[in-house]
Every structure is written in C-alpha cells, then in structure tokens.
Amino acid sequence: MLLPMGNAVYAQEAAFKASDSNISERINFIQTSFDKGETSAKAWSYTWTGLYGALTGLQTFQVLYSRHDRASTIVNASQSLFGVAVMIVDPFHARSSGSDLRKMPGNTPEEQQHKLDMAERWLERNYKQEKFGRSWPTHLLGVAVSIIGGGIAWHNNGSKNGITTMLSGIAVSEVQIWTQPTRGMSDYNEYRRKYKGAYPDIPEKKYFIAPSLNGFVAGVIF
C-alpha cells in the first residue's frame, strides 16, 4: 500500500520527533542520575584525598625529624602517599560527571546524539569504577599492602609495631572501601532495565541451579 507523499513526509517527521524525544529522555535520565550522586561522590573523594594528603605530610615530617619507630613511620607515610596517588591518578569520576555532561552542547540532533553517546559511556565508566572499588580484589589489595607494611615494621621495630601497623592499614582501607558511594551502579542497572536497547553488546548473565536425576546442575545463561 502506497502512502500519499504528504502522509509519508508526516510519518517520517513523526519518527524523527519520536527518536529525538527518546534521546532527550535518555540524556535527562543520566543527567539526573549524575546530579543526584555528585554531592556524595565529591564528599567521599575530597575527604579521602585530603585525609591521605594530610597523613602523608604529617608522617613525612615525623620521618625527617624523629627517630622513634622510624621504620613504622616510613611504612605509614608510604601507604598514605600510595593512597593519595591513587585518588589523584584515578579520580572518582562520579564527582564531576554531572557538571561535565551539562557543559556539553545539545542544540542540534548531531550534538544530542553525541551527548547521549558520551553520557552512556560515562555512566558505564562510573559503574565499572564503583564496582571495582567494592570488589574482592580491592579488599585483597588493601590487606596485602597492610600485611607487607606490617611485616616491615615488625622486622625493624618489633611485633607490637608490626601488628599495629598492619591492623591500622587494613582498617583504613576497609573504611574507605565501604564508604565509597555506589549510586552509579544502581543507576546503570536501572538505565539498562528502562532502555532495553542500551549496551546491546553486554550480555545479561543469569546463574542457575536446578535438581536433576543425578543431583544438581548449575550454569550460566548469557
């Protein structure tokens, strides 16, 4: 069935408007998500960067001007320096995602599409960063660094200093991990549920376990 030219043009314009509306809706969803998480992300990021920076300065001063438990102090200063370096080299992106996205132009269809592409990329980036920040490798890294530092302090300043250095290092790293905001993870998952076409190259994994004649079977569905 052939549509009259006027109807065909109208249908094409309607399709474009629907597409533009969907793009704007997606951008607004991500912008709102970024905005709601930005305050807590800034607070967490700047607090830990400042804390590690202050500890590095204080402990470096102690290394230079005090001979008391020198090895333990060097270990503590090194761990604090490592902490502030990580916060600077790999900044917590959720602290600025909302502001960065708002600065991007979106006046033309091309700009809108580019803005959506970047917004989705940043949403996924924040998700991956926050997920890794709460993952077991991150916990393991903090424990490993603390054990190594504690061993050095134990060897040079005795068991008491070694144990104190190790436990304090583990405690600080665990507090940092468990206080890290995770809103980006839930926003990313909500976006994927709401817009089924987003991130089509990422398969959904479903784990299952079920009874069978020989016991149980388990697997993963992609």
**Residue type present at position 110:** E
**Are 162 and 155 within 8 A, CB to CB?**
yes
Distance CA 222, CA 220 (A): 6
Closest among 61, 73, 125 to 95, alpha carbons compared: 125
**Tokens describing residue 58:** 């204080």
Residue 184 CA neighbour count, 13 Å, CB half = 30
If phi > 0 it is left, if psi is from -120 to 50 it is alpha, else beta; for residue 158 that is: left
**pLDDT at residue 166, rounded to an integer:** 92
Distance CA 83, CA 79 (A): 6
**Are 118 and 101 within 8 A, CB to CB?**
yes
- What separation, in Å, do the N-terminal and C-terminal C-alpha atoms of the chain show? 40
How many CB atoms sit inside 10 A of residue 200's CB?
A: 7
Residue 165 CA neighbour count, 13 Å, CB half = 31
* Predicted confidence pLDDT, tens digits, the chain (222 residues): 444 445 544 444 444 444 667 999 999 999 999 999 999 999 999 999 999 999 999 989 988 887 777 888 888 888 899 999 999 999 999 999 999 999 999 999 999 999 999 999 999 999 999 999 999 999 999 999 999 999 988 988 888 888 999 999 999 999 999 999 999 999 999 999 999 766 655 444 544 454 444 444 455 443
Domain ranges of the chain: 5-196
Closest among 161, 133, 166, 136 to 149, alpha carbons compared: 166
